[in-house]
């Protein structure tokens, strides 16, 4: 296994996704260094088997508000010991100097690390990384400084993770015997921006930004996203922008918090959903009117052609059929993956276990699939017609009828994007976008080959296809500061 792949795998095994709750400063009483954690683990491992030998050590991200590795100490550590010559191994977890995990099993053993080879400790490498590379604490993921120790190519490699000066995820590895720098890598973005396609010509603007949404109105274009994204966050410098010159330039709009959805109604009135609110009538001179405010996060949003709006938050759907003048509620029977609202005000949901449900006066009724073995991957409602995508293809039916009709598409579509009366589909691997026919005699066609582009949203205005993309990230070597 390559060095980079080893580091990548260790991250996903050892670190948990948490938000940053910072408190830089001196280590708290319960925090310990890597070497101190090894000493505690070794004592217990030797009780299990006197031949126990160390193979790896990882710090674990947590929300305990300590120093977060600032002085090379963490509250939580996990390590693995094996019995050489056997497949026996044990995982030992330590929290605040106490063993909180002891789990034995069997697997093909990894290379071992001799205790005597570990000359450097976590406080040493975090200071070296600060001095040589200006390493800062991680913020969005792997918060603070995190550490791993592994045997790579026969050497004990001690790695510290954090952020570089531009807040990009960084790993710096040292030979634990002598402090020699083995590797210094950071994740750099490539791609991202607003792509327009017109008559075979591609134009990229907002380069490097994470464009998470685009919607076209009557000679108006609105885009939103993050001007300075990182690998683990697209809410660093959120923005929403209105353009009246075909996307060449735009005016930034005043919207509280970052925008998750935006759309125009039939009267070209702009709506936007933020973390907990829905706003209507947003213009370049006015932030509009707040028509919904919730205590919990807005998880899902949908709107119909007639601008009936449905919002899922904390197990409840809030919906309106009068432009937000009043709202009704419906409790969902189980977790939903998607919600939709029709022009007639019908509520539909796709559950996380992929059951299609429709709200009735008696509760939620399941909709029978066109084929008994079909499982819907996604669903949308356009006017009063339901569209689903399955492994057998795309199917549609009128909500008031029971007959399904199959729509011909050259590739398997895994996800829909609805923009007013327009319907698009991603292929399963995100490699292509199709314009899905919503007419009985229409033909679906491929409108974009994504290749290496990470597409987040799409819309069409006139003869121009607008594609919202976000950056991808790759490990690159970094220079000593």
pLDDT along the chain (481 residues), means of 10: 37 34 52 96 96 95 84 95 94 95 90 94 96 91 92 95 91 96 93 90 91 94 93 88 86 90 94 96 92 97 95 97 95 96 96 96 92 92 93 92 88 93 88 86 83 91 93 90 67
Q: Do 58 and 127 belong to one domain?
A: yes
Same domain, 242 and 174: no
Q: What pLDDT score was predicted for residue 479?
A: 83
d(CA 443, CA 452): 27
**Pair 332, 251 in one domain:** yes
Q: Are 121 and 267 members of one domain?
A: no
First vs last Cα of the chain: how many Å apart? 29
Distance set, CA 478 to CA 113, 182, 347, 393, 472 (Å): 27, 12, 52, 46, 18
| Rounded distance between C-alpha atoms, residue 379 and residue 117, angstroms | 57
181 and 198: one domain? Answer: no
Sheet of 88-95, strands arranged across: 98-106, 88-95, 76-82, 53-59, 146-152, 155-163, 169-175, 181-190, 472-477
Segments forming the whole domain that contains residue 96: 3-187
Judgement on whether residues 203 and 164 belong to the same structural domain of the protein: no
Q: Can you give the CATH number for the domain in which 374 is found?
A: 2.130.10.10
Spell out the residues 6+ positions from residue 285 whose beta carbon is closer than 8 angstroms to its own.
Answer: none
Residue 481 included in any domain: no
Together in a domain, 196 and 174 = no
Residues 124 and 177 in one domain: yes
Read off the DSSP letter of residue 148: E
Q: Which two tokens stand for residue 431?
A: 């490699």
Residue 376: inside a domain: yes
Q: Are residues 102 and 217 in the same domain?
A: no
Say how far residue 471 (Cα) sits from the centre of its chain: 12
Domain count of the fold of the chain: 2
Q: Same domain, yes or no, for 429 and 455? A: yes
- What is the per-residue DSSP string for 291-302? EEE-SS---EEE
Distances in whole angstroms, Cα of residue 191 to Cα of each of 135, 209, 453, 454, 471:
25, 8, 7, 8, 5
Residue 480 lies in a domain: no
69: in domain: yes
Distance of CA 266 to the CA centre of its chain: 32
**What is the DSSP pairing of strand 146-152 with strand 98-106?**
unpaired
Q: Has residue 311 been placed in a domain?
A: yes
In a domain, 79, yes or no: yes
Query: What is the C-alpha separation between 169 and 171, in angstroms, rounded?
Result: 7
pLDDT in the model for residue 59:
95
Q: How far is residue 33's CA from residue 14's CA, in Å, rounded to a whole number?
A: 16
How much is the pLDDT for 440? 67
**Residue ending a domain, choose from 141, 160, 187:** 187
H or E element at residue 464: strand 464-470
Q: Which of 187, 217, 241 is the last residue in one of the domains?
A: 187
Report the pLDDT value the prediction gives residue 9, as an integer from 0 to 100: 40
Looking at the fold, whether 69 and 170 belong to one and the same domain comes out as yes
pLDDT at 257: 85
End residue of a domain, out of 187, 213, 230: 187
Within a domain: 215: yes
Let me know whether 140 and 242 are in one domain.
no
């Amino acid at each position: 296994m390559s060095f980079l792949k080893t580091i990548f795998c260790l991250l996903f095994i050892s670190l948990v996704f948490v938000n940053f709750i910072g408190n830089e400063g001196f280590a708290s009483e319960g925090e310990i260094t890597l070497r101190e954690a090894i000493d505690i683990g070794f004592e217990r491992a030797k009780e299990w088997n006197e031949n126990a030998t160390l193979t790896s050590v990882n710090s674990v991200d947590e929300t305990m508000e300590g120093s977060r590795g600032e002085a090379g100490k963490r509250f939580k550590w996990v390590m693995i010991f094996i019995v050489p010559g056997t497949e026996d191994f044990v995982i030992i977890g330590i929290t605040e100097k106490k063993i909180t995990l002891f789990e034995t099993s069997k697997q093909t053993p990894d290379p071992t690390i001799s205790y005597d080879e570990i000359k450097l400790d976590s406080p040493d490498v975090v200071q070296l990384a600060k001095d040589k590379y200006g390493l800062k604490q991680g913020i969005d993921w792997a918060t603070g400084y995190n550490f791993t120790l592994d045997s790579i190519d026969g050497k004990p490699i001690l790695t510290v993770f954090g952020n570089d000066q531009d807040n990009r995820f960084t790993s710096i590895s040292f030979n634990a015997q002598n402090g020699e720098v083995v590797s210094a890598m950071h994740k750099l973005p490539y791609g991202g921006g607003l792509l327009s396609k017109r008559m075979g010509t591609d134009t990229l603007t907002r380069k490097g930004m994470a464009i998470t949404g685009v919607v076209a109105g009557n000679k108006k274009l609105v885009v939103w996203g993050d001007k300075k994204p990182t690998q683990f966050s697209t809410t660093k410098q959120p923005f929403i922008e209105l353009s009246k010159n075909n996307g060449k330039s735009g005016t930034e709009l005043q919207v509280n918090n970052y925008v998750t959805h935006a759309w125009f109604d039939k009267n070209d009135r702009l709506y936007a959903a933020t973390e907990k609110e829905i706003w209507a009538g947003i213009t370049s001179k006015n932030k509009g009117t707040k028509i919904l405010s919730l205590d919990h996060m807005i998880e899902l949003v949908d709107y119909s052609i007639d601008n009936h709006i449905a919002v899922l938050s904390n197990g409840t759907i809030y919906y309106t059929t009068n432009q937000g003048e009043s709202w009704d509620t419906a409790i969902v029977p189980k977790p939903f993956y998607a919600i939709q609202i029709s022009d007639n005000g019908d509520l539909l949901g796709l559950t996380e276990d992929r059951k299609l449900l429709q709200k009735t006066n008696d509760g939620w009724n399941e909709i029978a699939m066109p084929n008994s073995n079909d499982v819907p991957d996604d669903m949308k409602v356009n006017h009063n017609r339901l569209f689903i995508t399955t492994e057998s293809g795309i199917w549609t039916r009128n909500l008031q009828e029971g007959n399904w009709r199959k729509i011909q598409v050259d590739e398997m579509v895994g996800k829909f994007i609805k923009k007013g009366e327009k319907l698009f589909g991603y292929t399963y691997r995100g490699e292509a976008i199709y314009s899905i026919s919503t007419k009985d005699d229409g033909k679906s066609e491929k409108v974009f080959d994504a290749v290496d582009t990470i597409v987040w949203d799409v819309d069409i205005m006139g003869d121009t296809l607008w594609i919202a993309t976000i950056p991808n990230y790759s490990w690159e070597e970094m220079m000593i500061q």
